[in-house]
A and B are shown apart, each in its own frame.
Chain A
Amino acid sequence: MVYASGFNLFLRAMEIAVFFFAAACLALAVLLIVLRRRNAAIFRHRVELQQRWQKTLRTTFTTPLTEFPPVLKKDRYDVLLVFNQVRQLRQSDRESDRDGRTAFGATLNDMARKIGLDAYAQSLLDRKDDADKIAALNCLCWLGDARLVPVVRNLMKTGRASLSRSAAEALLRLDPASAEDVIVQVRDRFGYVRARVELMFREVGTARLDPAMTRVIAISDDRGKMRLLDYLGCASPSAAREICRDIATNSANGELVAAALKTLGNVAQPEDVDLGRRFAEDERPFLRLAALRVLKDTATKEDLALLERMTSDSSWWVRQRAAEALVSIDTGNEIAARVLEDHEDPYARAAVTAALASQRTAGSVRSRDRRSDPRARSPR
């Protein structure tokens, strides 16, 4: 009897639950249909808006306009995003034409102010949502209001990586003299997407980046140095080379030296060959491997014996890199042929065989590319 009354209650609860969930299903289905229709309409509207504004922005570049299409209140966010995108893309595209880029940027900025994007972006900055703040920062940094610098500095220190990186980017645009502070941020925190940091540093230009990078690296610990070495490709080759040589010569940390040699490999000059030779004899395989990065472009005929010896290294990677370096030297192919013919170590022979095949494949691809390139066929 007790069970029966309890079960009836339970059954009644289940009935209510069924009706509740059925109603929820129905409501969700209606919501989904409405949402789909709404999202499809929004998507179409956005595409239309984007096309119209991209056209306007492009026209502005050639013939400055005084009148702009009206920006409805509901469209402001989308127009702001189009502005950010066009502004960013033009900035990235026109690396070689700095004057053109500046002139176009100024015209775009005037237009943004005329249609009230600055005030709107300012209001977005006060919202709690990170995405809104990022959109606002992306816009305001182009418009160059120096009063924003303290706000942006604070945002850069926030714990959320996307917002912090956008703030760092904005700070560099608003106040390029803050490069050192931004480099410290990049050094000390995880979560910044490296491709974006690289773009950000390239935009600053080497004149500002070189001294800032040199100073920050000089005061950083090994871990910080290691992180910043990744971005030395954004600095000028001479500054990058100097920093790498300094670290490789003075640091006792093998991993840091290897990272410095790896970076040096991209900007190495013939006189850096001494560093390559020095570390090629090191007992640690990762240092020998890093040394080969330097030797690959700087090795001379004097290094052929060393490279040949390294093709018998205990590390697979060192053998491969040594073989690649060997065949890239003018007379290296003769040595490579000798290794292939009568070297006692089968691993050395395998490494050289692979390096020669790789060279052939790369060569055939290059020659095919040249044939398909019309400029290569036309007489010069």
Chain B
Amino acid sequence: MSNGLHYPWDLIVLVVEVCLFIYFLFVNGYYVFTAILALLNLPLFMRLHRVDPLRRSYSSLDTPVSMIVPAHNEEEVIVKTVRSLLAMEYPTFEVIVVNDGSTDQTLEKLGKEFSLEPYPEAYRVSIPTEEVREIYRSAEYPELIVIDKVNGGKADALNAGLNVARYPLVLSGDADSYYHSSTLQWMSEPFQKDGRTMVVGGAIAVGNNCIPEQFGDPFNPSLPKKMLPRFQALEYLRAFLSNRLGWAPLNALGIVSGACGLWRKDLLVEAGGYRRDTVWEDMEMTLRVHHMMRRKGRAYRVAFTPYPVCWTMVPDSLSQLYTQRVLWHRHLSECMSIHRRLLFGGGALGWMTLPYLVFFEWLAPLVVTFGILFGIAGIVFGFLDWYSQIVLLGLVLTLAILISFVAILLDEISFTAYRLRDIWNLFLAAFLENFGYRQFVSIASLVGFINWAMRTPHRGRRPPGMFVKPYPKS
């Protein structure tokens, strides 16, 4: 409560406090709503999975898939990633690795490991890209194609892969992620179940402490050993299980992660391929699909599969995390600007996802920073009392922890099921992330927002795990 202030200042302070509180209520109300939707959907999904006597059967009728993996200086992980892709249990697929102007040994390692030979592909340019230097094919694995091209960024590499892809479904993947051998079976299922499905997103988990050889069924992942990736593991749980599982049944998924999205190729080509003028590409493409399909009045679905199909490496240093979050927020800003007409444009996407993304993600760094500064100023200058601020902090803290616990619960009743020791560590992370980590992320997001507003050109490359964006990140 205002202290020592006279009319109208006491009223202004009260109004600001109430507005901040209402904002806080809406954010958390939204999280609770999507978590409830997820809690309603997941148990039946799990029970149906359990009673299926042929969980992993496939046939020649499954739609063939082209997997595109852009790689830029990925010499350390590329061979393992490609091996995990070649080991897919699926009738017809091809793996297209796009070496996007790497300056390290990425191409040489691929060449040595998979016996690459120059392949005179009749390259067709459906989408213009940077120059393609050479196309290779493996003498051991005919389903492996490697494109060597001039550096143009991930979007450009994906477009080059699209030009070479010959199958109707395209998986956009990442060189620093590992994939379960049943990824394609699980992700292609929604296409078969609903002919309106245009794209399917897969659940992604943090794989910093996972050994790809362990990716069997059931898969028992381990939490990362460092605290920073642990915070992110918790974030991923909240984002993928709590939020996306809640959004998907309403056809309101605002993002399909670049690390694991299965798209209809004709749709991507019709949309003109990935945009090269944004710092990221996945959210923009997802929103573009929504936009395009709505404009054309075509029935469509953007689906999500809660199977843990992909494990990705996340930043394990503050500098990498900072760069990642600056870029994420910048991309969010770009998307909100490009696709502003989707806001309140009908359906759950227009009335739920977009308002959420605009008010509680895009503008969040501004509100959070203002709230923190307001609280500090109030205490320093004496117009807010200590006690009310401590109660408010207690409320923020308990609700944040509760939402994280619900995400851990969803994980427990779904597939990943961390061990008991890891659950204790997740509890600890859920508490500790509120003291420094969240504020750090908010600052990085604010910088991203400012960079976008000032049109500051982006330099440098994305750190590991950069291609994965588990919005919402709060």
Contact = CB atoms under 8 A, between A and B. Distances in A.
B47 A131 contact: yes
Nearest to A131: B47
B398 A22 contact: yes
Given A7-B14, A15-B391, A354 B120 contact: yes
A192 to B, nearest CB: 8
A25 B44 contact: no
Interface stretch (B189-197, B239-247, B250-258, B286-294): B189-197
B25 to A, nearest CB: 10
Most buried by B among A11, A29, A84, A197: A29
Given A8-B1, A15-B391, A36-B420, A28 B58 contact: no
Interface residues of A, number: 67
Chain A facing B: main interface SS: helix
B409 A88 contact: no
Contacts of A132: 47, 51
A135 B51 contact: yes
B193 A161 contact: yes
A196 interface: yes
Interface in B368-411: 387-388, 391-392, 394-395, 398-399, 401-402, 405-406, 408-409
Contacts of A4: 1
Contacts of B14: 3, 7
A32 B140 contact: no
B270 interface: no
A3 B11 contact: yes
B54 A92 contact: yes
A194 B62 contact: yes
Interface in A131-164: 131-132, 134-135, 138, 161-162
Interface in B137-193: 137, 139-140, 142, 189, 192-193
Chain B facing A: main interface SS: helix
Contacts of A25: 398, 401-402, 405
22 contacts: A7-B388, A11-B387, A18-B395, A21-B398, A24-B398, A32-B423, A39-B412, A85-B53, A88-B53, A89-B53, A92-B57, A131-B48, A132-B47, A134-B52, A190-B194, A192-B193, A194-B61, A195-B192, A231-B61, A353-B120, A354-B120, A368-B140
Given A39-B412, A195-B57, 12 more contacts: A18-B391, A24-B398, A31-B409, A32-B412, A131-B47, A132-B47, A132-B51, A195-B61, A195-B192, A196-B57, A199-B59, A368-B140
Interface of B: 1-2, 10-11, 14, 44, 47-48, 50-54, 57-62, 117, 119-124, 137, 139-140, 142, 189, 192-195, 387-388, 391-392, 394-395, 398-399, 401-402, 405-406, 408-409, 412-413, 417, 420, 423, 427
- A-B pairs with the 7 shortest C-beta distances? A131-B47, A21-B398, A350-B122, A195-B59, A88-B53, A353-B120, A194-B61
